[in-house]
Structure 1
């Protein structure tokens, strides 16, 4: 049975803490039966709590009921706040219990907000790591050239390798190749075959850098696929980068692992955390120092 309560969720939780236990549940059942005039059989503690909070609209009225004695309230406070004085009337104890519950709400709220703020600060710091700054710069450079059909073999290592999966409603198509010319030809072929425009998510949620077990830089990037003015799917890419001493020591991609996936209702902004193919790579280390 679903019973609507007019007492706040926090105070309902406090009543549960006070009454739903081996020692005080009999008191709760008696209270519920009294409130409902014994018109129904109540044997379950949660059901009894539901009746109490639905039929008594004020937490003070609940705690002032004769079934909830001064002794019960004092023992509860003593377990939660050791050292509670015995020199209190029942009215004083009721106020102390409610104040304790309200303080718990404030403490939990502050702790939650502090946790959220800490996470946000960590994320703000991480997005400025050198490896992530480089990853975003690389992602912007690569997809600008790729969408403009301006990508050349000299932009890649000559022995570059590609693993490409195109996942559509009618099945999956896999392509593998191992030279810069073949990698570019395969990527352009997939783009032109479907008329795709690649819209990368160039924020920290969509492009990040990692270091693999061999100490190589890995750039992870995701975004949405478009044909004309329609969004038709998502893409997820992992690039393995190495510095090229013959090209001013710039970073150049050598390994490509791509997944293109059609979707009926693609997200407005695809993120790494929601990616299907990049979760293992996301678990790799993110160094915070300058890249060698």
Structure 2
């Protein structure tokens, strides 16, 4: 019988949410040798988890497809290059479950306002803050995508300064520019990208894809590049610059002061490789934005 840990069981349940009923029942037949008849998704899931020998064996099953694991890791805030092969995704998932980064309480999604309270420390490292912020922000934003089948985390204007400004440049078949002021409108426009347009943002948190600098008067700039997906299709790449300032009214948590978001569709890439895109901003250019 199964030797899955509780963390592994919870992880698989999250992963299986994205599977079709037919695929899940087929996986149940394979795992149980068709000895267990299941009538619905819940029974199929329990049969699979009960009769699987271990997590690695189940992850390597043909029906547990590469893209399924990739999307699961993205929702857990683990950024992997879109070009990653299945065995690499399996290895990273097993590391996640054994490290304590993921646990059974994550089924009850934590309030996003709690997870962004990065307390100020003396001589803090802007890059560490940038990594923490990007993991938090993109997990929160991606959770609004209904195609992931998960409970959306708490999104809203509370994460932005009231006078925040969003500059959005989109290059697909044509070029479109938008400039949106105010926390309410910025919140709604970003929400539409994932909730209505069903986009999934996969940031590249490796050194080539993430930079962060801090000014002497409290502004931290975080620049990140990544890929944009809809379901299993890669639509293009994005580059995003955040301006962050602490809010003394909210226990010194960080709030977003401005966002510059540039999106390039596959047509605009001109054949360039979309996997694990690198930033076009240099650290010196970011510092100029601070001034």
Instruction: Provide the TM-score with structure 2 as the length reference.
Output: 0.48
- Computing the radius of gyration from Cα coordinates, the structure with the larger value is 1
Bigger relative contact order, structure 1 or 2 (CA pairs below 8 A, ≥6 apart): 2
Instruction: Provide the TM-score with structure 1 as the length reference.
Output: 0.48
